[in-house]
């Protein structure tokens, strides 16, 4: 309650309300092939938010982000810096599965951007971990490749953005070099999280 009696919803309630309003969304052509809108999951007050590109087949069925093979690797990546999935908030740049797991297209990313912005306005993360070039490029509005974006911090509103390789890319490219770079990025994200966290 505020002093004048207006009710201000907490983060969980605000996100639930956003998710409810999103049901039946037809803002872009991804609505035609999706089974479920994959809104996001985790702690609504998380200081660290993980942003992927878009749901795959498993996520489309279960309605939760990063639950397939890439998601299992993401869970291990987070654990490697002592973070549990329920301590962070995990979401995607687009909320509906692109057909055949293709990358989301520019118009789809643009249609979903206000939804993502609304989510971030509620969560107010201190650190954003962007997975892969689609998420990193669309959040940072750049065409620079992920190999150039990663390894350093980017200002992102009141937060700092850490780009790294997408776990699906790491599964397709199992060389030690990419793993080592991703590990460096995760440690960077962890350091920023420790320095900036509010709780
Ligand atoms: N890949 C993504 O980018 N997001 C998911 O939710 C799953 C796989």
Give dist(CA 140, CA 31) in Å, integer. 25
End-to-end Cα separation, the chain, in angstroms? 22
CATH numbers and ranges of domains, the chain: 10-197 (3.40.470.10)
Banded pLDDT at 26 (limits 50, 70, 90): very high
Per-residue pLDDT tens for 143-189? 999 999 999 999 999 999 999 999 999 999 999 999 999 999 999 99
User: Which range is least confidently modeled, 7-16, 55-64, 120-129, 170-179?
Assistant: 7-16
The ligand 1 atom at the shortest distance from the C-alpha of residue 64 is 6
Give the Å distance between the CA of 12 and the centre of ligand 1. Answer: 22
Query: What is residue 1's predicted lDDT score, i.e. its pLDDT?
Result: 44
Q: Give the gyration radius of the chain's Cα atoms.
A: 16
For residue 44 and ligand 1, the question of a CB distance below 6 A is answered with no
For residue 54 and ligand 1, the question of a CB distance below 6 A is answered with yes
Contact call for residues 112 and 120 (beta carbons, < 8 A): no
Per-residue pLDDT tens for 64-98? 999 999 999 999 999 999 999 999 999 999 999 99
The ligand 1 atom at the shortest distance from the C-alpha of residue 70 is 8
**Where does residue 8 rank: exposed (0-12), middle (13-18), buried (19+ CB within 10 A)?**
exposed
């Amino acid at each position: 309650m505020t002093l004048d009696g207006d009710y201000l919803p907490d983060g969980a309630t605000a996100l639930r309300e956003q998710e409810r309003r999103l049901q039946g969304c037809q803002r872009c052509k991804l609505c035609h092939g999706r089974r479920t809108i994959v809104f996001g999951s985790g702690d609504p007050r998380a200081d660290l938010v993980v942003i992927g590109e878009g749901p795959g087949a498993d996520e489309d069925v279960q309605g939760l982000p990063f639950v397939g093979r890439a998601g299992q690797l993401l869970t291990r990546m987070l654990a490697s810096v002592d973070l549990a999935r329920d301590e962070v908030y995990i979401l995607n740049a687009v909320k509906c599965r692109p057909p055949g797991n293709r990358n989301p297209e520019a118009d789809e990313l643009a249609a979903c951007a206000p939804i993502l912005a609304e989510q971030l306005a509620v969560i107010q993360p201190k650190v954003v971990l962007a997975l892969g070039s689609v998420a990193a490029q669309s959040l940072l509005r750049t065409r620079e490749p992920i190999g150039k974006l990663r390894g350093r911090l980017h200002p992102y509103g009141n937060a700092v953005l850490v780009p790294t390789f997408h776990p699906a890319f790491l599964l397709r490219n199992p060389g030690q070099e990419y793993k080592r770079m991703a590990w460096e990025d995760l440690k960077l994200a962890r350091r920023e999280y420790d320095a900036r966290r509010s709780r």
